[in-house]
Structure 1
Amino acid sequence: MSAALQTLQLSAALGGRKVLQDIDLQIAAGRWTCVVGPNGAGKSSLLKALAGLLPHSGQVHWHGRPLGSLTRQQRALQLSWLGQGEASTLDLRVWDVAMLGRMPHQSWLAGPTAQDAQMVEDALKATQAWDWRERTLGELSGGERQRVLLARAMAGNAPTLLMDEPLANLDPPHQVDWLEQVHCLLAQGTTVVSVLHEIGMALHADDIVVMREGRVVHHGAGGDAATHAAIKAVFDQRIRIHAFNGQWVVLPRVGGVITRID
């Protein structure tokens, strides 16, 4: 299986503190890889390093090419990014925000093409944000803005999509909608890499990277027992993972007793 992204001895520091330590990782092309771990594990830092947004030592490769060898436009064409808590100008129209995802495809000083407009329309409809296209971001709730930013990332139509906490501010029905959108992207051959706090949702991923203290402690299939054991270990056995009606369910451990599902 070919690697869409690969790191070799990847390390990074923030404020004098190491946030990534000697990470060797291969992320398979055309699959959904989810990064999980406790707060401060280095999940967001890893994603930013993969996107070329965090100074680091070691190497990051995209399909065998050093990420640093790509121009900014080439990188934007190959990698779409949805960051955590991204700020956008609140007086921008929803349509214009989503159109920003098409900028890497446009010639210098050229306006949007009919294809650009169609891609933006498709993305806004996929995230159920089409009806707000003439509204400004300032008129939307936090969850609604998140769906617009997701549409912007999807409109870029890059072969690799990196998302840091994409479910922030989304209610459960829209989290399920997001999961369906990920599966649609995978069906088109897109490589998806996400950081999630929602372990139950993360267990739907093809592959899971488990982190702790800036290191990758496990990388395996989402349904593997070894992956589940690694997740429970990094959370100090405070959660349990059980199969229920054909899906994995995450349960809290309360007072040493595992909550039952009847």
Structure 2
Amino acid sequence: MYGKDTGHGRGIRRRGMGAVAVGAALLLSGCSGSSDDGSEAKPSVSQQPKGEDPYWVNPDGNAARQVAEFEDEGKKEEAGLVRRIAEQPVADWLGTDQPEEEARGFTEAAKAADREALLVLYNIPHRDCGNYSGGGAADGNAYRAFVDSVAKGIGDRPATVILEPDAVLHLVDGCTPEQFHEERYDLLKGAIQTLKALPATKVYLDAGNAGWGKPEQIFEPLTWAGVAEADGFSVNVSNFYSTGESVAYGKELSCP
């Protein structure tokens, strides 16, 4: 299964050395609009045909809100252009303040639309090595509690979870200090086990992107992090490589 290539992508590699699935989506930033009477402009977007893409399109996403704002302003051409973006499924990155409530809300809405929620968990301790996206859970116990909350929120509803973009990659490229490696492997493996215990959840462990280095460098670290217990691995979640480059990287990683 191959998705559309529009720039900022997500790639999914299925367990069992099967095909690489790569999708992509762009999300425009923008505030919600208001109509002339002061009421908030309501997003108006459609789901993709289920046979073409099983993932849920969030009708309240930023791009959808921009469509509503343009429509409210009578900017039909602009609304049509942004609608092409707004109607592509985009993963929802869960926050850390109310992860259970967010996971429940996204999965309930997706199920009501007869689609599957696509979620990203990004809260590993020492995240992004303290760089632009630095932060994450305060410690291992806080992270385990976060994952438990997400799992409780998902429950028995269908969901695909992308687990911790760049978390394994940064163990390999030297970005994450050595003293945190053992704990991170343990946390990732535990997160996979917790989420896979749910009846309708698929889990993909992130494996970086096509431009960072050689695939054979990350093969064993993915194994140590528990990828064999997941449904596969994801690529290009937090970068901008093309679908073709990402597919090639995923295939090379599958057969190091």
- Specify which structure has the higher proportion of strand: 1
> Which structure carries more relative contact order (alpha carbon 8 Å, separation 6+)?
1
Instruction: With the length of structure 1 as denominator, give the TM-score of the two structures.
Output: 0.37
